[in-house]
Structure 1
Amino acid sequence: MKRFTHIDPATVDEAVFLLGEYQGAARVIAGGSDLVGGLKDNLWMRYPQAVINLKRIPGLRDIRAEADGLHLGALATLTEVAESAAVRDGWPGLAEAAGRTGSPLLRNIGTIAGNICQENRCWYFRYPHKLGGRIDCVRKGGTRCLAVTGDHRYHSIFGAVKKCIAVNPGDTAPALVALGAVVRTSKRAIPIDGFFSAELGPQSTVLDHDEIVTEVFVPLPEKGAASAFKKIAIRKSIDFAVVNCAAAVTLVDGDVAAARICLNGVHNNPRRCEASEAVLIGRPLNEETAGEAGELAVAQARPLLMNAFKVPMARTIVADTLLACA
């Protein structure tokens, strides 16, 4: 690990000021489960000059269920989210997603904001500098994506974004999309559908270099609403998802009145399945309609040679997640 300046701001405003002073040459640390690995492996073409520690700023770890919905402090750990009685009772899909992220040790240190802000997952992008030099892939400003002609087993089945076929690895991300969350930062409120962006180089979100997530807000579910999360991973207890899915469905008199479905691990950004949502409206939620929704979810898939197996996985996990909502 190279040398860097470590700073402990006392407030969000101080942290934002420091990020502005470093002009993109600093990174924030919350839990550190993703950042520390990047620092050790020297992944980036520009090594950070400073690390801004958010853990000593008060008020960023609260979990509160209020009249308008669920307020998750940015530094609430994944274990705390998964084990919160309020989250389990009102937003079970999110509790399940948080509880399926990583290992118990990682969930104890990883935060809800860190999980949605982590960089995309690709072994070429994350190749350690100490093993012969980091790989200058297109996501780091290079000219090509080595995964397209290389090993792309777990990469995008819906094409590239600016030549990159890495996938978003978050488990809580699809749950928050399905639940219509809002990410609140030091400068604005961002609806979750507009939060993720693979078009901006290494980062996976629209956050500015001097912007910090302070809270994730999830609105109250409607009467008759249910949510669920499903995940397929090589090692169930620890690995990133090969494919995961979250859904939130509102039933009125046995028929679907509203639905939000999100796949992840299949594209650069969490992928809303809007055609699948539309086909459910006004119909009962059963194996037939869930199966139709699964088919529509992968209708536009364009898998490569080595990852075509993810298409039936995605189709099936959409149907299974919807049936879990029923």
Structure 2
Amino acid sequence: MKRFKHFDASTIEEAVKLLDTYENSSYVIAGGSDLMGCLKDNLWMEFPEAIINIKTIPALNTITVEKDGLHIGALVTLTEIAECESVKKTWAGLAEAARRTASPILRNMGTIAGNICQENRCWYYRYPNKIGGSIDCVRKGGKRCLAVPGDHRFHSIFGAVSKCIAVNPSDTAPALVALNAVVTTTKRQIPIDEFFSAENGAGSTILDRNEIVTKIFVPTPVENAKSSFIKIAYRKSVDFALVNCSASLSYSDGKVTEARICLNGVHNNPRRCQDAEALLIGKELTEETAQLAAEAAVADAKPLFQNLYKVQLAKTSVLDALIGCAK
């Protein structure tokens, strides 16, 4: 690892000022579970000059339940979310997503903001700049996505974004999308549906380089609403998901009045299944309607030869997530 300057910020304002001072050559660190790997592997084309630690900023690690919903500080760990009784009771999909992320040690370190801000996964993009040198895929300034003609077993089944078929790896992202969360930053409030953007080259969100997530808000669900989360991985929670899915359904008189379904691990960005959602509205949630919705969720899939299997995994994940929301 190359040398860099390290700063312990005492306030959000100080952290933003340091990011401005070092412009495009600095990163924020909280839990560090993704950032440290990137630094050790010399992942980026330009190594950062400064790392700004925000763990030293008070009041970013609180989780509170208020009348309007759940307020989660950016530094709240995945373990704290997974073990919070209020979250498990009212926002079950999010609690389960946090519980299924990585290993216990990483959940103790990793923060909710870090989990949704981590970079997309692809072994060509993530290949360390060591033996043989860096692999210049399209996300690192190359001319094409090397996974398309190469090894794409774990890549997007819904086509490419800016030629890239790397997938978003977050487990909590689909749960937050299903629960209609809002991300608060040092600059603005961002509906979770607008937060992710693989179009930003190496980044995976719409955040500016000097913009920091400070809080995530999850609204209180209406009465009779239920949420769930499903993850399929080689080694349960330890591995990144092959496919994961979260759903949230609201009911009135036994029929679905609102539905939000999100798949992840299948595309550059977490993917709302809006055709599947529309199919459920006004209907009772039966195994038949859940199956039809699952099929609609993958109807426009464009898998390659090696990841064709993920279409069935995605369909099954949507089906299981919907059944998990049954009254």
Identity %: 67
Q: CA deviation at 1:247?
A: 0.3
Paired letter, 2:271: R
Shift >4 Å, 4+ stretches: none
Whether 1:282 aligns to 2:288 is no
Q: Determine the C-alpha separation between the residues in 2 that align with 1:163 and 1:258.
A: 34
- Cα distance in 2 between the residues matched to 1:108 and 1:9: 21
3-state SS of paired residue (1:61): coil
Counterpart position of 1:200: 200
* Map 1:69-218 → 2, pairs under 5 A: 69-218=69-218
Q: Any idea what SS the aligned residue of 2:148 has?
A: helix
SS of residue paired to 1:148: coil
Deviation string 1:50-92 (CA, Å, 9 cap, x unpaired) is 0000000000000000011000000000000100111111100
Report the equivalent of 2:295.
Answer: 295
Residue 37 in 1 paired to residue 27 in 2? no
Q: TM-score, normalised by structure 2?
A: 0.99
Identify unmatched segments of 5+ residues in structure 2: none
CA distance in 1, matches of 2:287, 2:140: 44
Which whole-Å CA distance do the structure 1 matches of 2:237 and 2:58 have between them? 32
Report whether the alignment pairs 1:22 with 2:34: no
Q: Secondary structure at the match of 2:190?
A: strand
State how far apart, in whole Å, the 2-side matches of 1:312 and 1:272 are.
Answer: 17
Deviation of 1:301 after TM superposition, in Å, equals 0.2
Q: How large is the Cα RMSD of the aligned pairs?
A: 0.6
C-alpha separation in 1, matches of 2:181 and 2:94: 11
Secondary structure class of the residue paired with 2:61:
coil
1:242-297 deviation digits (Å, cap 9, x = unpaired): 00000000011111010000000000000000000000001001100100000000
Which secondary structure state, in structure 1, belongs to the residue aligned with residue 324 of structure 2?
helix
Cα distance per residue 1:152-194 (max 9 Å; x no partner): 0000000000100000000000000000000000110000000
Quote the Cα distance in structure 2 between the aligned partners of 1:152 and 1:234.
Answer: 16
Query: Quick check: 131-140 or 64-73, which moved more?
Result: 131-140
The alpha-carbon deviation at position 230 of structure 1 amounts to 0.2
Matched ranges for 1:201-280 at <5 A: 201-280=201-280
Using the alignment, how far apart are the partners of 1:251 and 1:140 within structure 2? 46
SS at match of 2:159: coil
Name the SS of the counterpart of 1:235 in structure 2: coil
* Distance in 2, Cα, partners of 1:79 & 1:235: 19
Distance 1:241 1:85 in 2: 25
Count of paired positions = 326
Letter in 2 for 1:104: P
CA deviation after TM superposition for structure 1 residue 34, in Å = 0.3
Distance 1:86 1:63 in 2: 10
Counterpart CA distance in 2 for 1:217 and 1:66 is 10
Residue aligned with 1:51, SS:
strand
Letter in 1 for 2:310: K
Q: Which amino acid aligns with 1:208?
A: D
In structure 1, C-alpha distance between the alignment counterparts of 2:21 and 2:56, rounded to whole Å:
20
Aligned residue in 1 for 2:13: 13
Cα distance in 2 for residues equivalent to 1:301 and 1:131: 36
Aligned residue type for 2:233: A
How much has 1:197 moved relative to structure 2?
A: 0.0
State the distance in 1 between where 2:222 and 2:34 align. Answer: 35
Distance in structure 2 (CA, Å) of the matches to 1:231 and 1:261: 14
Q: What displacement does 1:131 show?
A: 2.4
Aligned-partner residue type, residue 29 of structure 2 = I
State the one-letter code of the partner of 2:293: A
Q: How big is the shift at 1:237?
A: 3.4
SS at match of 2:65: strand
In 1, Cα distance between equivalents of 2:176 and 2:45: 31
- Within 1, Cα distance between the matches of 2:100 and 2:141? 33
Gaps of at least 5 residues in structure 1 are: none
| Residue aligning to 1:305 | 305
